Amino acid sequence: MATKEVNSSSFEAEVLQSELPVLVDFWAPWCGPCKALTPTIDKLAAELDGKVKIVKLNIDESPEIAGKYSIMSIPTLLIFDKGNVSEQLVGLVQKEKIIDKLNKHI
């Protein structure tokens, strides 16, 4: 199951108004660590389907969203719960660490 892409026009509906907790992967096509993290993100999306919504946001296509959340380096993962940022992970993080953060919100 491919991870859904969001952008500035769909971000509010998909992330901020979501009933489920949402993991947002801030990335860009030129970012090597972002590409390395993609298989992990896709696996999590499949494993946690129905419990957590997992989406990707290309910072080059939606720089205003990245700016709003002060994304300074990528990959950055933000976990939103009821429209608010509750957790942040920066860099090429291990799957277990991501699951550990997500479990607090499931």
Q: Is 31 a catalytic site residue?
A: yes
Q: What is the pLDDT of residues 8-21, one digit of tens each?
A: 999 999 999 999 99
User: Taking a C-beta distance cutoff of 8 angstroms, is the pair 7, 61 a contact?
Assistant: yes
Over 90: is that where the pLDDT of 1 sits? no
Exposure class string for 26-44: b at 16+ Cβ within 10 A, else e: bbeeebeebeebeebbbeb
Q: Is 34 a catalytic site residue?
A: yes
The structural architecture, per CATH, of the domain 4-103 is 3-Layer(aba) Sandwich (3.40)
Q: What is the pLDDT of residues 56-70, one digit of tens each?
A: 999 999 999 999 999
CA Rg, the chain, in Å? 12
Q: Choose, from 15, 34, 44, 74, the residue flagged as catalytic.
A: 34
Q: Choose, from 20, 28, 31, 90, the residue flagged as catalytic.
A: 31
